[in-house]
Amino acid sequence: MIKITQTLKNWLEPNNQALQEAIEKTVSEGLFSKQDIQHQLSVLRGNVENGEIQKWANRAGLTDQKNAKGKKVLCLHAGNLPLVGFQTALGVILSGADYYGKLSRKDPYLLGSFLREIEQIGIEQEIQYTTDLHDFQNLNADHIVFAGSEASVPQVEQEVKKLGAAKEKAEYLIRTAKFSIAYLEDWNEEVKNDLVESMLRYGGKGCRSVAVVVATFTLDEVKEELSSAIQKFWKDNPQQQKPAPELKYQFAYNEGIQRNQLWLEDFLIQETDELPETDFTVNCVKGDEAKVRELKAQFGTKVQSVYTTETEISGLETEELAKAQSPPLWWKPDGVDVVEDISSTIS
Amino acid sequence: MMSSDLIFDATVSFEYKCLRVFEFQRSNNPVYERFCDALEIHRPQSISEIPLLPIQAFKDAEVLTNFENSKYKIQNLEYFQSSGTSGMQRSRHYLRDPEIYRRSIIEGMQQFYDLDDFVIWAYTPGYNENPNSSLIWMLNTLIGREESGLSRFLELGKPLDENEIRKVTDAGKKLMVFGAAFGLLDLVEMKNVQLPADSMVMETGGMKTYRREMNREELHRRLAKGFGISLSKIHSEYGMTELLSQAYNPGGYWFGTVPWMEVSTRNPKDPMEEVRTGEEGLIGVIDLANLYSCSFILTGDKGVQVGGGKFQVLGRWNPRNLRGCNFLIDQD
């Protein structure tokens, strides 16, 4: 644990040459913006400084008796935002399991540079990673971790099976959460900035990103202020990816049916309580706590987190809106702690 | 003013008619006008430049093409409404000129079948409770025009009667049994019957709303067996509340359209773009019979096309890559 913590600290050092090279390559290949990478790294630095590695191990109940030593865990990392697979990779390594990472071709350098440093410290566990799943042919992993949609799961399972990358009875931890909901009762400078960060960071592409806002006020009441705050955010954090033409189509549709909306060319905020299906879109609706509960139930496992500013919503687990894009190290994708899950399964 | 005769006029090119209808609707349908303005589409020169309005608009707004000072007021118009449970948002399609729908039904079916040869029987559980069903309207039209007096809606929950079938044969007619997919299945499950070999079963979809999961091939196989006719006699109709024309597949799985209707498959990421032949996409429909609503519709159905405009319906379109973390085997 100490070795891993120290390695992570070293890796995160701003003057770490290997990390700097990984950042430069990622940015120069247009994979992610420098601002989004720096944000992610800065969150991780904060996590480490707060002693969250040890705290995570404690929370997960890791001990000499309860761990995942000797087990093979294959992680299929997504690449929708920089270092999106980092938490899973670190969790697997902390658990003591052998880590086999299929890195995303959309984010191969950043996580790779961390894993290379972990490899070099000579821990007992196996650390292997690649961008080609075929490299894990006949791996016979005990556990598979990946994020998927209903449509993609069978295809992934079939491919894993075909390659013999996992045992016949391997355990699958599949994450299906796609977006988060924010509930706002107040509107002030802090809430506004937190909301903008939660919606726009990483182009809104993470499952912790807010794609649905329930507020006790209408979009019209805050439209101008919100628009200015978004422009300011983009000035400091230009949006890396541009939306597909479907977004303008959706804007035009809203105009057609006279749905209230805030059109920002590269992003759309629209007043509706429908499932947010399109990238670069946030749906907002006026409502109270009951509305939040209703939408959470309706969208089911697609919802990662429900954020509030100060309020608690009875019957729902909530998180602070301000932490949407800077979560603690042990945040639970789909409500499951990866360390706990693979350790309890295997021990 | 546009004459509805133009829609059915076979001597005029489809493209010309489309451009005329576009101009008419863009000028007189506020929903479509605002939609086109937002897309900055004003004077398309070809069909491919005409934008398709998402079908959801029939739920979210009043999609009506009407002159500003028209004597037709929306509150006085007959309308079709999709079925659904209470609280569910339902599509509403206003019928400004019922004669257009009547012609579209009759002349459309005549493109595929010699209607005068057939007695029409309709078995429509679930639709009977919807007084605004466009399917019931269509069936009433077909039954009403057939002169033998043998065409009718079948009593629900009762199997087909062999004596009644014999009367059809004795009258020198063929039998066409219309019904929603699983209604027909209920019918054969009540009792297997032997229809005359030249009979036809017309399945009108509705597979997604029923209690059993089954694909169309399996459904057709069971219907053929249950009705005692060959698989080639099980046909399908592709229609919906939002369209006043239908497409038919006269055996097999490929639908063909009537001359005043055209189908395309669109890229869901860019609905102005057609996908290549053989590729899956969103089904787009141009239905000129929708003269007084909107003729240019982007459905929520997934489809695939072959040459000649024929198409297959592959169910509802589900966004494959819903936002958020997703390991995609072909991209990651």
Restricting to A residues 94-133, those with a Cβ less than 8 Å away from any Cβ of B are 102, 104-106, 133
Q: Could you tell me which residues are beta bridge partners of residue A74? A: A100, A144
Contact B327 A249 (CB under 8 A): no
Two structure tokens written together for A218: 């209408």
| % of chain B exceeding 70 in pLDDT | 92
Q: d(Cα B247, Cα B254) in Å, to the nearest integer?
A: 10
C-alpha dihedral (A109, A115, A116, A120), degrees to nearest 10:
170
Residue B105 pLDDT: 97
Closest residue of chain B to A134, computed from CA coordinates: B329
Per-state percent for chain A, helix, strand, coil, to nearest 5: 45, 20, 35
Chain A contacts of B61, Cβ < 8 Å?
Answer: 256-258
Q: Is A206 an 8 Å CB contact of chain B?
A: yes
- pLDDT classification of B85: cutoffs 50, 70, 90: low
Check whether B118 has a pLDDT greater than 60.
yes
| Of the partner residues B36, B323, B331, the one whose CB lies closest to the CB of residue A178 | B323
Q: How many angstroms away from the CA of B234 is the closest CA of chain A? A: 31
Chain A contacts of B329, Cβ < 8 Å?
Answer: 133, 152, 155-156, 159
Q: How many angstroms away from the CA of B215 is the closest CA of chain A? A: 17
Q: Is A265 an 8 Å CB contact of chain B?
A: no
Residue B325 pLDDT: 67
Domains of chain B: 5-72+256-316 (2.30.38.10), 100-249 (3.40.50)
Check whether A347 has a pLDDT greater than 50.
no
Q: Is A19 an 8 Å CB contact of chain B?
A: no
Q: Could you tell me which residues are beta bridge partners of residue B313? A: B303
How far does CA B94 lie from the centroid of its chain?
Answer: 16
Contact A259, A272 (CB under 8 A): yes
Residue B330 pLDDT: 62
Chain B contacts of A76, Cβ < 8 Å?
Answer: 327, 332
Task: Read off the pLDDT of residues A124-176 as tens digits, 9 standing for 90 and up.
Answer: 899 999 999 999 999 999 999 988 766 678 888 889 999 999 999 999 898 88
Task: Read off the pLDDT of residues A77-87 as tens digits, 9 standing for 90 and up.
Answer: 988 899 999 99
Mean pLDDT over the full length of chain A: 94
DSSP single-letter state for residue A259:
-
Chain B contacts of A259, Cβ < 8 Å?
Answer: 60
Q: How many angstroms away from the CA of B119 is the closest CA of chain A? A: 43
| % of chain B exceeding 90 in pLDDT | 75
Contact A181, A306 (CB under 8 A): yes
Q: d(Cα B113, Cα B107) in Å, to the nearest integer?
A: 10
Task: Read off the pLDDT of residues A7-16 as tens digits, 9 standing for 90 and up.
Answer: 999 999 999 9
Residue A150 pLDDT: 67
How far does CA B293 lie from the centroid of its chain?
Answer: 15
- pLDDT classification of B211: cutoffs 50, 70, 90: low
Contact A258 B332 (CB under 8 A): no
How far does CA B34 lie from the centroid of its chain?
Answer: 26
Chain A contacts of B322, Cβ < 8 Å?
Answer: 149, 178, 277, 302
- DSSP letter string, B168-231: HHHTT-EEEEEE-HHHHHHHHHH------TT-EEEE----TTSSS---HHHHHHHHHHHHTS-G
Check whether B209 has a pLDDT greater than 60.
no
- pLDDT classification of B7: cutoffs 50, 70, 90: very high
Q: How many angstroms away from the CA of B326 is the closest CA of chain A? A: 4
Q: Which of B96, B103, B54 is nearest to B75 (CA)?
A: B96
In CATH terms, the fold of domain A2-176 is Aldehyde Dehydrogenase; Chain A, domain 1 (3.40.605)
Contact A177 B34 (CB under 8 A): no
> Helix axis angle, A17-28 relative to A2-12, nearest 10°?
60
| Of the partner residues B35, B36, B323, the one whose CB lies closest to the CB of residue A211 | B323
| Of the partner residues A106, A159, A211, the one whose CB lies closest to the CB of residue B329 | A159
Task: Read off the pLDDT of residues A51-98 as tens digits, 9 standing for 90 and up.
Answer: 999 999 999 999 988 999 999 999 999 888 999 999 999 999 999 999
Q: d(Cα B45, Cα B258) in Å, to the nearest integer?
A: 23
Measured over the CA atoms of residue B223, residue B225, residue B228 and residue B231, the dihedral's sign is positive
C-alpha dihedral (B134, B137, B138, B143), degrees to nearest 10:
160
| % of chain A exceeding 90 in pLDDT | 86
Q: Is A253 an 8 Å CB contact of chain B?
A: yes
Task: Read off the pLDDT of residues B159-202 as tens digits, 9 standing for 90 and up.
Answer: 999 999 999 999 999 999 999 888 899 999 998 889 999 999 99
Rounded average pLDDT over A171-198:
95
How many Cβ atoms are within 10 Å of A125's Cβ, its own excluded?
19
CATH 3.40.309.10 residue ranges of chain A are: 179-323
A141-147, strands of its sheet edge to edge:
A127-130, A98-102, A72-76, A141-147, A166-175
CATH class of A179-323: alpha beta
Rounded average pLDDT over B93-109:
96
CATH 3.40.605.10 residue ranges of chain A are: 2-176
Contact B201, B177 (CB under 8 A): yes
Contact A252 B51 (CB under 8 A): yes
| Of the partner residues B39, B270, B327, the one whose CB lies closest to the CB of residue A147 | B327
Mean pLDDT over the full length of chain B: 91
Chain B contacts of A211, Cβ < 8 Å?
Answer: 323
Contact B326 A76 (CB under 8 A): no
Chain A contacts of B268, Cβ < 8 Å?
Answer: 246
Contact B327 A278 (CB under 8 A): no
Contact B332 A76 (CB under 8 A): yes
Task: Read off the pLDDT of residues A214-269 as tens digits, 9 standing for 90 and up.
Answer: 999 999 999 999 999 999 999 999 998 899 999 999 999 999 999 999 999 999 99
Give the E-state strand segments of chain B in sequence order.
53-54, 78-81, 92-95, 118-123, 152-153, 174-179, 200-203, 234-238, 247-249, 261-267, 270-274, 281-287, 296-305, 311-316
Closest residue of chain B to A272, computed from CA coordinates: B60
Q: Which of A199-213, B68-82, B280-294 has the lowest mean pLDDT?
A: B68-82
- Please name the residues in contact with B245: beta carbons below 8 A apart, sequence gap of 6 or more: B104, B108, B239, B257, B258, B260, B261, B287, B288, B289, B290
- pLDDT classification of B215: cutoffs 50, 70, 90: confident
Residue A223 pLDDT: 97
A319-320, strands of its sheet edge to edge:
A261-263, A268-271, A281-286, A210-215, A179-184, A303-308, A319-320
